[in-house]
Structure 1
Amino acid sequence: MIRRFFRHFIESLKSLKRNGWMTIAAISSVTITLTLVGIFASVILNATKLTADLTNNVRINVYLRANSTDNAQTIVNDQGQTVENPDYQSIYKQILALDNVKSVDYSSKEEQLEHLTTTLGETWNLFKGDANPLYDAYIIETTEPQYVKSVGKEIAKIDGVTEVRDGEVETERIFKLNSLVKTWGFAATGLLLFTAIFLISNTIRITIISRSREIQIMRLVGAKNSYIRGPFLLEGAWVGLLGAVVPSALVYFAYQLLYASVNDSLASQNLSLISMNVFVPAMIASLFVVGIVIGSLGSVISMRRFLKI
């Protein structure tokens, strides 16, 4: 068994060299196809990651009434005395007690104005002090993104809350986008892989047809089908392996460049691409595995379907 394998192994290497131009054509076909698969899979996987991050980043903004003292431990009473606030964090505690609430963070109107000034420019400095038109707010994160709407409705009933923004339209769009990317993205990747097998099998078919006389002679001398298939199966695997080298190199350098140039700006929005240390090794390994599998499968399909062996 081992002896036969090494015989087929050596024969497959000789066949690659003997059928020079046909081998180059087959490897080129695999290279082009796997390059498309690598690009498409990279886009789909990272788009899925980003939409998942967007979904997980959905927050509820709860705006309190003007001059709210919910987050003030002390207040000034009618006599001008500083006393303990009896309603300290009353709204906060009611929100935190609701089902499916993961965290509640306070954001003062001064902090919000500072964020707007940093984001939109110095013009917002005009609203500092008493001219600040914003409201104190609580930012709520739910245990799961799908609870955003239901939790928002419960919070709106709490006394002292003037407005609840859960990004209703944006949230629905993000959920739909996430579902769309997952469904159609992976369907398109599967279709591309099917197309790859079809194209490669046709390329290898031409190689096999050009050697049909060699196969007929082997059958006439009594060679078994498994013995005839062996070298062609390994040859297809070699074609797939060699065809995956260039796409793997492209994925390595292109993703490294993309990650370095894009990820920092995404990080400021609590988003990120798939980590370099995870994505690149996994994608390169996948390309080599896919290349070997579709090369071998293309060879088997071609021999069975077109040579009737």
Structure 2
Amino acid sequence: MMIRTFFRHLLESLKSLKRNGLMTIASATAVTISLTLLGIFLALIMNATKLAEDIENNVDVSVLVDIGTSQEDIDKLKDELENLPNVKSVSFSSKDEELKKLEDSMGSVWSVFEGDSNPLYDNFIVKAKDPQTIKAVAKAAGKLKNVHRADYGGAPSDKILKITQGMRTWGLGAAVLLVFVAIFLISNTIRITIMSRQREIQIMRLVGAKNGYIRWPFFLEGAWIGIIGSIIPCVIIFFGYRSAFRVLNQPQILGSSYHLLPPSTFTIQICGLLVLIGILIGALGSVISMRRFLKI
């Protein structure tokens, strides 16, 4: 019986969408615009946060080994660095490998320093478990024996860490604000739709229909409006983000260490979120908006 009643309400909600075509289009359009803006801004904010994390994770401590340090002392120094608090990993790069990196990035002019003329230091690259502890790791590493200098970038790196922290904080705040704006716009449009059908609700009450019986078709109708309104935003996000990813996620644009969120799962998650928001706001907006008409 309950299942039959549910399908009756479902069928009635679909008929009502067709019957009130103009208001349905108006409501679905409001949902479409709101969810499109929300989806685009969420994609931007989440990728900005991802890039901020990449920047943080690429701030390492460079530990320069004193010239003339024996291999035995270098091995001992590596063990000491790995045992420091908050150290995630330690990798070694000889002065010849450091020179090769310079030649690859700045040209063969550096080849004149090969062999005994190499002025560079053997180097340990230390990654911290938490970017916020990078300064403490550098300070502790600098106190170890056979260390010429431990450097994490100084003031510029401090500024980068502060900027990335701000990006995460403001990004989260902007995302929450956008969700509330979308809720406000969509729910108000749904409310106008319900108000335009005040007479229909009053007639149903006059013939003795219970509040639950009246409410269900409007609840389902609001959910349908949310689904219809989320179709275009999902198409835009699904295909638009994939195109943007192919163009922007290039080493020459972002660098080899930075990447956007992969579209395979990200677009599905965003689209699922948009559909869910559309359904919830549409359905709940309908129920809340018609409460005043159901009061005795």
Question: In structure 1, what is the Cα distance between the partners aligned to 2:283 and 2:156?
Answer: 47
State the TM-score, normalizing by the size of structure 1: 0.85
Change (3 A) 1:230 1:88: closer
Tell me which residue corresponds to 2:261.
Answer: 274
CA-CA distance at 1:98 after TM superposition: 2.6
SS at match of 2:89: strand
Does the CA contact (< 8 Å) of 1:197 and 1:294 recur in 2? yes
Question: In structure 1, what is the Cα distance between the partners aligned to 2:291 and 2:111?
Answer: 76
Question: In structure 2, what is the Cα distance between the partners aligned to 1:208 and 1:23?
Answer: 11
Tell me which residue corresponds to 1:157.
Answer: 143
Letter matched to residue 276 of structure 2: V
> Percent of aligned positions with the same letter in both sequences?
49
Tell me which residue corresponds to 1:29.
Answer: 30
* Aligned residue runs from structure 1 range 101-112, under 5 A: 101-112=87-98
CA-CA distance at 1:130 after TM superposition: 4.9
CA RMSD of aligned residues (A): 2.3
Tell me which residue corresponds to 2:12.
Answer: 11
Q: Name structure 2 gaps, 5 residues minimum.
A: none
| 2:86 is aligned with 1:100 | yes
CA-CA distance at 1:118 after TM superposition: 2.5
| Alignment match of 1:137 (pick from 104, 123, 146) | 123
SS at match of 2:44: helix
Letter matched to residue 64 of structure 1: V
Letter matched to residue 49 of structure 2: T
Question: In structure 2, what is the Cα distance between the partners aligned to 1:88 and 1:222?
Answer: 89
CA-CA distance at 1:244 after TM superposition: 0.7
CA-CA distance at 1:145 after TM superposition: 2.6
| 2:177 is aligned with 1:191 | yes
Q: Name structure 1 gaps, 5 residues minimum.
A: 72-85
Question: In structure 2, what is the Cα distance between the partners aligned to 1:248 and 1:189?
Answer: 18
| 2:266 is aligned with 1:283 | no
Question: In structure 1, what is the Cα distance between the partners aligned to 2:294 and 2:70?
Answer: 81
How big is each residue's C-alpha offset from its partner over 1:223-271, in whole Å with a ceiling of 9 and x where there is no partner?
A: 1222111111111101100111111111111221122223342785333
Does the CA contact (< 8 Å) of 1:197 and 1:295 recur in 2? no
Change (3 A) 1:28 1:159: same
Does the CA contact (< 8 Å) of 1:12 and 1:231 recur in 2? yes
| 2:153 is aligned with 1:167 | yes
Change (3 A) 1:202 1:144: closer
CA-CA distance at 1:275 after TM superposition: 2.5
Question: In structure 2, what is the Cα distance between the partners aligned to 1:89 and 1:197?
Answer: 60
CA-CA distance at 1:199 after TM superposition: 1.2
Letter matched to residue 13 of structure 2: S
Change (3 A) 1:194 1:301: farther
| Alignment match of 1:239 (pick from 221, 225, 233) | 225
Question: In structure 2, what is the Cα distance between the partners aligned to 1:5 and 1:181?
Answer: 46
SS at match of 2:125: strand
Question: In structure 2, what is the Cα distance between the partners aligned to 1:174 and 1:304?
Answer: 51
CA-CA distance at 1:122 after TM superposition: 4.5
| 2:85 is aligned with 1:114 | no
**What is the number of equivalent residue pairs in this alignment?**
293
Change (3 A) 1:295 1:68: farther
Does the CA contact (< 8 Å) of 2:69 and 2:146 recur in 1? no
Question: In structure 1, what is the Cα distance between the partners aligned to 2:60 and 2:40?
Answer: 32
Does the CA contact (< 8 Å) of 1:70 and 1:92 recur in 2? no
Question: In structure 1, what is the Cα distance between the partners aligned to 2:126 and 2:8?
Answer: 67
Question: In structure 2, what is the Cα distance between the partners aligned to 1:299 and 1:200?
Answer: 10
Question: In structure 1, what is the Cα distance between the partners aligned to 2:120 and 2:136?
Answer: 25
CA-CA distance at 1:137 after TM superposition: 1.2
Does the CA contact (< 8 Å) of 1:70 and 1:90 recur in 2? no
Does the CA contact (< 8 Å) of 1:68 and 1:136 recur in 2? no
SS at match of 1:103: strand
| 2:16 is aligned with 1:2 | no
State the TM-score, normalizing by the size of structure 2: 0.89
Relative to total residues, which structure has the larger helix share, 1 or 2?
A: 2
Does the CA contact (< 8 Å) of 2:14 and 2:221 recur in 1? yes
Tell me which residue corresponds to 2:290.
Answer: 303
